[in-house]
Amino acid sequence: MIQGEGGNRLHWDQLPAHVRTAISDAAGGEVVEARTQPGGFSPGLAARLTLANGERVFAKAATATHNADTVALHRREARTAATLPASTPAPRLLWSATLPDAWTALLFTDVDGSHPALPWQEREWTRVHQAVVTLGHVPAPPSLPPLSPCAGWQFLLDSPELVRHLPPWPRENLTRLATLEQRWEDATQGHHLVHGDLRADNILITADRVVFVDWPHAGTGQPWLDLLFMLPCLALQGGPEPADVWRTSPLAATADPDAVTVALAGLAGMFSYYGLLPDPPGIPTVREFQRRQATVATTWLRSRLTTTP
Number of helices (H), then strands (E), in the chain: 13, 10
* CATH 3.30.200.20 boundaries in the chain: 2-109
State how far the alpha carbon of 170 is from the alpha carbons of 100, 151, 153, 166, 266, in Å: 46, 14, 9, 7, 13
Give pLDDT, residue 42. 73
Give pLDDT, residue 43. 78
Overall CATH class of domain 2-109 = alpha beta
Q: How confident is the model at residue 309 (pLDDT cuts 50, 70, 90)?
A: very low
* pTM score, whole prediction: 0.92
pLDDT, tens only, 19-63? 999 999 999 999 999 999 876 667 789 999 999 999 999 999 999
Please state, rounded to an integer, the average pLDDT across all residues of the chain: 93
Q: Report which residue type is found at 304.
A: R
Q: Report which residue type is found at 57.
A: V
* CATH 3.90.1200.10 boundaries in the chain: 122-307
* C-beta of residue 63 within 8 angstroms of C-beta of residue 101: yes
Residue 72, H or E segment: helix 68-81
Instruction: Output the CA torsion 98→100→101→102 (10° steps).
Output: 10
Q: How confident is the model at residue 308 (pLDDT cuts 50, 70, 90)?
A: low
pLDDT, tens only, 197-237? 999 999 999 999 999 999 999 999 999 999 999 999 999 99
Q: Report which residue type is found at 45.
A: L
pLDDT at 2 over 90: no
pLDDT at 6 over 50: no
Overall CATH class of domain 122-307 = alpha beta
Give pLDDT, residue 5. 33
